[in-house]
């Protein structure tokens, strides 16, 4: 019997077979293979012994949060309390796109932003839309549902940005726990205690513990460059140009000409250094 893992707590896996949900354990052979089932996996199970027998080849797999076969990532972005972080936004976009997952930026807490601040924010976010990255307000539920139909969706973003709140709005029966933002730290507190995949209409959605620190382990410089889509529009003298210290770099010229968003380039350089640091630690 085939199904999808929708929940994992310790070594217990809830498998949705469409007909029923069965709590299974994983066969010992997976440990010998260096493989572990994760939420989102399509698996074959033995319903009598309640064991997972086979993991179907994955489309992709994220490590933080740990989830497989994702179509879309909703990057939930608070504009205030906590304030928008373009470094985190760009890092999430980089990780999502490098895993061949479509990113959608979902804006929350627009009511806390002044008209003057909103005007500046809209100008910046328009830049992302020009990169064919969808940007939508969390109040546009009909639009969100249409985008997510028949998709497996992961929610990610700042802690306290409203990931659980979005799920509650899409399906009021979920009633996920939410907590107020810590005023002193300008960040949220973890409210989700395990990774779980929820069936909402014709889509699956994953609610995961919030996080604000992500690394770029195992990502190459070339993969990083490819996730900054706008760089491909500008030619450099060298094919392997890292857009850092090289002369006659088309990307740096475009930056100087105001064609590239400064925070995007700054974050690219930050991530580039992180990749170099990870590589040096790996080969020490």
So what's the pLDDT on residue 187?
44
Q: Are 150 and 203 in contact (CB under 8 A)?
A: yes
Contact 57, 39 (CB under 8 A): no
Q: 109-164, pLDDT tens digit by residue?
A: 999 999 999 999 999 999 999 999 999 998 898 899 899 998 998 888 887 888 87
In this prediction, residue 184 carries a pLDDT of 36
Residues 6+ away with beta carbon under 8 Å from 2: 17, 42, 43, 44, 45, 56
Please tell me which residue, 108 or 197, carries the higher pLDDT value.
108
Band of residue 14 on the pLDDT scale cut at 50, 70, 90? very high
Helix (H) or strand (E) run with residue 198 in it: strand 196-200
Handedness of CA 93, 95, 100, 101 (dihedral sign): negative
Q: How far apart are CA 67 and CA 53, in angstroms?
A: 19
Quote the pTM value: 0.80
184 compared with 243, residue with greater pLDDT = 243
Question: What integer pLDDT is reported at residue 174 of this predicted model?
Answer: 65
Say what the pLDDT of residue 183 is. 43
129 against 196, higher pLDDT:
129
Tell the burial category of 175 from Cβ atoms under 10 Å away from its Cβ (0-12, 13-18, 19+): exposed
Angle at 15 between CA 13 and CA 18, to 5 degrees: 170
Residue with tokens 């260096």: 34
């Amino acid at each position: 019997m085939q199904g999808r893992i929708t929940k994992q707590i310790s070594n217990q896996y809830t498998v949705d077979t469409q007909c029923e949900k069965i709590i299974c354990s994983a066969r010992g052979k997976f440990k010998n293979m260096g493989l572990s089932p994760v939420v989102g996996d399509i698996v074959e199970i033995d319903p009598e012994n309640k064991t997972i027998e086979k993991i179907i080849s994955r489309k992709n797999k994220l490590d933080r949060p740990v989830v497989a076969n994702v179509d879309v990532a909703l990057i939930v972005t608070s504009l205030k309390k906590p304030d928008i972080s373009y470094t985190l936004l760009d890092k999430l976009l980089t990780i999502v796109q490098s895993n061949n997952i479509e990113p959608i930026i979902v804006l929350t807490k627009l009511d806390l932003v002044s008209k003057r601040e909103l005007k500046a924010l809209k100008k910046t976010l328009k830049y992302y839309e020009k990169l064919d990255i969808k940007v939508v307000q969390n109040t546009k539920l009909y639009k969100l549902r249409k985008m997510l139909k028949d998709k497996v969706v992961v929610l990610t973003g700042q802690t306290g940005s409203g990931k659980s709140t979005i799920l509650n709005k899409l399906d009021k029966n979920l009633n996920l726990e939410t907590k107020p933002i810590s005023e002193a730290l300008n960040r949220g507190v973890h409210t989700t205690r395990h990774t779980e995949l929820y069936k909402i209409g014709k889509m699956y959605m994953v609610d995961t513990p919030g996080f604000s620190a992500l690394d770029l382990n195992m990502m190459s410089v070339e993969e990083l460059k490819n996730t900054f889509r706008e760089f491909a529009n500008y030619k450099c003298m060298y094919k392997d140009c890292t857009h850092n210290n090289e002369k006659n770099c088309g990307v740096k010229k475009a930056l100087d000409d105001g064609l590239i968003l400064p925070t995007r380039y700054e974050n690219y350089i930050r991530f580039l250094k992180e990749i170099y640091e990870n590589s040096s630690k790996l080969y020490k």
